Amino acid sequence: MAGNLIARSVHDLTAAAWFGGSLMGAIGLNGAAAEAKDPTERTHLSSLGWKKWAPLQTAAFAAHIVAGLAVTWENKDRFAKQHGVTRLSVYKTVVTLTGAAVTLYAGLVGKKVDELAAEGAEGATEPKASASSELKSAQKQLKILQWAIPVFAGGVIVLGAKHGEMQRPKNVIKGLAR
């Protein structure tokens, strides 16, 4: 067994936390907040939940990057010798960093929605007809972002699985023969 079991595990688990946390937030947290009887509480309750999740999410991103660097270091010879490894790693890095930027932007937009919570809302991402254009715009963005985030996180997981498949002996041999 290669010496990076812990790094690989951390790398995969943090991607899974990003994926699962984003889906739970979009479906569970935002869905539950929409059930609040007071319309002014709906966006605020959702924001409180996301604020509680944010430190763990940030730690997961940091651990994901550190673990990814460790896995990359352990596989530096494969990058140089096995066809396709470097290209896939670049794709995965771009998807990861873009997804992280989208997640950060969603947090900033969510902060704006929380600042305007007193206006009331139908749900975390559904404005009332009487909402200001600022709140409507922010909620419209969040509605899209809440589904974009798990797409990026899922992409990272799928690309990680592809990396794993590339390490199967028959694929290593095929990649070295090119």
Say if residue 175 is exposed, middle or buried (CB neighbours under 10 Å; 0-12, 13-18, 19+): middle
Instruction: Say what the pLDDT of residue 78 is.
Output: 84
Rounded CA-CA distance 67/125 in Å is: 34
Kindly give the parts of the chain with pLDDT less than 70.
1-3, 171-172, 175, 178
The confidence score (pLDDT) of residue 168 equals: 75
User: Would you state the pLDDT for residue 171?
Assistant: 64
pLDDT at residue 165, rounded to an integer: 85
0.75 surpassed by pTM: yes
What integer pLDDT is reported at residue 3 of this predicted model?
67
Where does residue 135 rank: exposed (0-12), middle (13-18), buried (19+ CB within 10 A)?
buried
